[in-house]
A and B are shown apart, each in its own frame.
Chain A
Amino acid sequence: MSTDPSQPTFFGDRTLRRVLAFFALIAAVLVAVVAISLHNLSRSIATSDWVNHTHALITELDALQPTLAAAEGELSRYLLTADARDHEAYRDKFAELGERVDVVAALTAGSPEEEQQFAAIAEVLARRAARASRISTLKKSGDAAALQQFLAEDAENGDQRELTRLIEKFREHQTGLLSSRDRASFQQAQTMRWTVLGGLGLDLLLLVGAAWLIRDDLAARRQAARVLQQDKEQLEARVRERTVELTATNARLAAQNLEERWAKQAIEHQNRYNLLIIDSISDAVFVVTKLMNISRMNPAAVHLTGCEPAELIDKPLSRILWLAGDAGPAKATFDPLARTLVEGHELRDKSAFVATKGGQSTAVRLSVYPLRDRDKVVGGVVVLQAVPPVSS
């Protein structure tokens, strides 16, 4: 059983519940049909026993009169022959009659009505047996006149007619019961047939219904699986596309990153190289702004002035440099130099003086070159060459 709360439990599945209900109904119908069939079977067995019993009763009943007739026939023979063997024969026959009466009495013992009906028959038979015994006694006694008188009186006796009537009536009663029991059995058989057929038909319908439900559910599940598979394939395709896009983007970014790092190192390398070039020049080099403030100086300039870059950067060049003819740094006229930058032309090889940190001044040869960026003067480069002292 799934432990995932999002999945339906065993009895939470609607289709499964319906199928189970169908099978429960099928089982119920089956059980009902079996119960009814068993009940009808029991009744059929009981009916069959009763029918056998009734047939046995009728058979014995039918045999009573012939047996009586045979016994009275033997009596008549004895009356004629007076033979002991005939006497024995008539006694055997009446004994047989008595046994048959006992059998019928036993067969009717279960029904008070039948018992009562047969009691009348048994009474007549008993009278006939008593008559036969009286006749036999008279014959043995040899009193022929008494015997003749008795026989004459007996001839008007209606016992035979009475017996026949009683037996017929009893027989008809039993036959009527057999007929009604036959009809009941037929009805019962029909009922059982329709019960079985109906139950079978109902079960088949329920089975078809359950099969339809299962088929319907399977179709729905297959459709859902197909849709899920399609969604999965679409998702995988999108993932693949996205992966390709991301891979391409990643490759582009990696290449871009490499280009950026390359450009950065190229700039750094170029700056470093340019600085190296300027720092390697033996002449003092000052880079100035358009206003003639110092923005950079090379090691040769440091050596010449004795000042560190921190002392002169962003200070006017006029603080340490003046043209020859000027009275000194305080009165330096940088009009020619400033004009050079403004006008954008060079000034070469002019005499000038540099003030050192120690307070001395050093003669130099001055050149000024405008710095151009896209034809616009953005500053200048001032190069000072030390003038060697004149040897005498």
Chain B
Amino acid sequence: MSHLSSASPSAAGAKPAAKHILAIDDEAPILDLLKEYLSSQGYRVSTAGTAVEARHIAEADAPDLIISDLQLEETDGLHLIEQLRALMPAKPVILLTGVLFDPQVVEENLKWKVSAYVSKTAPLQVLLHEIRRLIGS
């Protein structure tokens, strides 16, 4: 506990940095909405429209959480998630897609690859609930 007592007052009293979220989707309106909403909830949001862009951002500024669509322009979202997981194995991933998966499919096939699955037809509150569950406010 000695290191805590020796912490500088400025560091102890400093506001914690906002959690970084990387959102990946090939549709720009989706990314804009996600950025607007999650920023209003206090998160720092980076967006990527392609897998290449997503990898560059993840390498330069490691996110605390990744949100990815399933259908991307040049690759499969799950494949990209596997690549990103190789870079940062401990980071949680949310699959956000309009493809309606069967809950049993999600439970049996996707639970090893993603931390959570949220349908694009679900309200943003549901996504926010999952984000807070995984990385906090």
Contact = CB atoms under 8 A, between A and B. Distances in A.
Nearest to B125: A259
A265 B99 contact: no
Contact of B40 (A255, A261, A263, A266): A255
Contact of A270 (B27, B37, B121, B124): B121
Interface of B: 27, 29-30, 33, 36-37, 40, 98-99, 119-121, 123-125
Contacts of A270: 98, 120-121
B124 A269 contact: no
Given A273-B98, A273-B99, A266 B121 contact: yes
Which of A251, A263, A265: most chain B CB closer than 10 A?
A: A265
Contact of B124 (A251, A262, A267, A273): A262
Contacts of B99: 273
A265 to B, nearest CB: 6
A259 B121 contact: no
A254 interface: yes
A250 to B, nearest CB: 11
Given A255-B40, A259-B125, A262-B124, A269 B27 contact: yes
Contacts of A255: 37, 40, 124
Contacts of B120: 265-266, 269-270
How large, as a class, is the contact surface on chain A? Answer: 10 to 19
A254 B124 CA distance: 12
B76 to A, nearest CB: 16
A34 interface: no
A272 to B, nearest CB: 9
Nearest to B34: A262
Nearest to A271: B98
Given A258-B33, A266-B119, A269-B27, 6 more contacts: A255-B124, A259-B123, A261-B33, A263-B121, A269-B98, A273-B98
- The 4 A-B residue pairs whose C-beta atoms are closest, nearest first, are A266-B121, A266-B120, A269-B98, A258-B37
Contacts of A267: 121
A146 B43 CA distance: 159
A258 B124 contact: yes
Nearest to B127: A262
Contacts of A273: 98-99
Interface in A203-257: 251, 254-255
15 contacts: A251-B40, A255-B37, A255-B40, A258-B36, A258-B124, A259-B124, A261-B33, A262-B33, A262-B124, A265-B27, A265-B29, A265-B33, A266-B119, A266-B120, A269-B120
Contacts of A261: 33
Contacts of A262: 33, 37, 123-124
A324 B120 CA distance: 45
A141 B121 CA distance: 173
A144 B14 CA distance: 149
Contacts of A258: 33, 36-37, 40, 124
A349 B82 CA distance: 42
